[in-house]
Amino acid sequence: MKVFLIFPFILLIGNSCNKIPEQWNGKRLSRKRDQITVAQLQTDNTLALVDLSYYARPDWAGNAGYHFSGSIVVGDTQLNYPRGGEPYDGEDTFPAITMDFIADGTQLIPVQKGLVVATKHTNSFWDVIIGTGAVWNEDGDNGWSRASFPLTLTDRYVGQARNCVATFVYNSITVSNVCVQCSQETASLEDHRVGDIRVMLKANYQPKRYVDSAQVIQQHHQSGERRLPVYPLRDIDAHQEVAEYFDRTMSTNSPTSIGAVLAGGKLYLHPPKTRHGLYPYPADMRHGVYSVTKSMAGALALMYFAQRYSPDIFDELITDHVPALANHAGWKGVTFSHALNMVTGTVGSEDMEHILDFIKARTAEESINVIAKLGDAPSLPGQEFNYASTNFFVLSYALQNYVNGKEGTKADYWDLVRENVLVPIGAEDLTLRRTVEEDNSLGIPVLAYGAFPTLDEAAKIAMLFYSEGNYNGQQLLHRQKTREALGRTQWVGHSTGNDSGENYRHSFWSTTVHNGNCTVNATYMWGYGGNYIIFLPNDVIAFRFMDEYDLNVHELVRKVEQHRACP
């Protein structure tokens, strides 16, 4: 089995030798549709790559002539996936899944939000996340109604996200084939240049009424009403310096999946460019943010439980809550805080010798037993920074058992975080990768990677941290621990040993950026490929989700900060 290289310290070279494709200049959808026609959707042929405007509801569209409510069932289907080498097992197969939708007005609303795990029903490598799409009528469709929706493919191992759009035509009793095109992604360096995935899915439509349809629709609209206001980036980027940074070509002609700046509670969004035009559903675009998960989910969880119970949770011993490590010499004296801060004093790294078997493991017990086989390191807990994603799975496992001791064996710690943190701030649909248990019971979050946020969810979580865990007057996260993570106390954290002078505090990175006569202290979440959420002075947070390994965080900070006067 081949494995994705996903973590910050794995450097791959040779990208600069590859020829960068020219910018996309394909024909856009016009009133006289010439691509993805009704006739083409009735065939089994995989269609050509087209501008994604062909998958979107055009301005001139009419209201759908048929109401849609029911299931679309598809089977395992061969993908058109132009890899340079041999695929992973099942990587060239779209999974057999059932997708349930209810139309309301012009919107096509998925009944199931979150990760559709198809493990038991498919030979595919992929699971699916489905977003809200649209329904409409077009002249020339011979009485058929038309629909499309955003769809994210994600692998079952480390959490890449392939941003796709699907479309089909339908009437009251049947649907056409479903045409899918994927033109953007956050993936490994090995794979992102072969991301243009296409497939034509044979679909079976099962019309049905859902007993909770009114509730699904109501919750959907309430969620939409709570989204942060979004404005064009140009409103605060008059000279296009930040836009040019997001737009510059690297290995592909669209390296940045999403770039945005949050200022004053408003999101300023750069157009979500793909290799084939703009992504038509930016609000539902999911991003595989890799190790950003450690902060977005790991720190969030531990700081919530520090508030719910006591900050003493940071001093809990790992060995008291992880039986497989109870007699492990390396984990003796290691606390929850040590794991969060990557100073466990145990053997571990992002090298394949330390992480390959962990990535391949499926269940929680298999995963923790793999980690138990890693040895002790010379340093004592708390002495030396050593970045290892396995530390965060140990933390997740320990946290689950700790919460079970407080709440009972049926409690799921992430469900408590969702109910008491994510629901209040309006980020309840944040999706996490979990272990896959053989008895179909709910697995535990991997926590080291595997979060798939939308921009809105990422922004709301970032705002909660920026506000030191306070939301509308309610303290959701422990304030002191949150302040420590953001560098607002005397504690500087742990030196990462890098020449650039970075520190690590409760899973957040920090660095000092010189910007002309100004010095900017930047704290940030960081994930493989160049995924950043950067906390800056004056209530400003910058977002860049990508996969082309641009790690020059200093330049991005300078671009965003260049118009701010020195204090």
Region of poorest pLDDT, from 12-26, 475-489, 553-567? 12-26
Does the pLDDT at position 182 exceed 90? yes
* More reliable by pLDDT, 212 or 12: 212
Contacts of 556 (CB under 8 A, 6+ apart): 245, 532, 534, 542, 544
Mean pLDDT of 169-177: 97
Query: What are residue 104's DSSP bridge partners?
Result: 107
Q: What is the pLDDT of residue 53?
A: 98
Q: What is the pLDDT of residue 364?
A: 98
Mind giving me the DSSP string for 480-531?
HHHHHHTT-SS---EE---TT--EEETTEEEEEEEETTEEEEEEEEEETTTE
User: Model confidence over 409-427: pLDDT tens digits?
Assistant: 999 999 999 999 999 999 9
User: Model confidence over 435-457: pLDDT tens digits?
Assistant: 999 888 899 999 999 999 999 99
- Please tell me the pTM assigned to this model: 0.95
Is residue 425 classed as helix, strand or coil in its secondary structure?
Answer: helix
User: Model confidence over 29-48: pLDDT tens digits?
Assistant: 999 999 999 999 999 999 99
List, in sequence order, the alpha helices (H) in 226-379.
Answer: 241-247, 292-293, 300-308, 336-340, 352-360, 364-372
Mean pLDDT of 36-62: 96
CA nearest 301: which of 336, 345, 343, 333? 336
CA–CA separation, 478 and 393 (whole Å): 22
User: Model confidence over 280-327: pLDDT tens digits?
Assistant: 999 999 999 999 999 999 999 999 999 999 999 999 999 999 999 999
State the SS3 of 68-89: CEEEEEECCEECECCCCCCCCC
Does the pLDDT at position 508 exceed 60? yes
CA nearest 507: which of 527, 485, 477? 485
Q: Is the dihedral of CA 26, 32, 38, 40 positive or negative?
A: negative
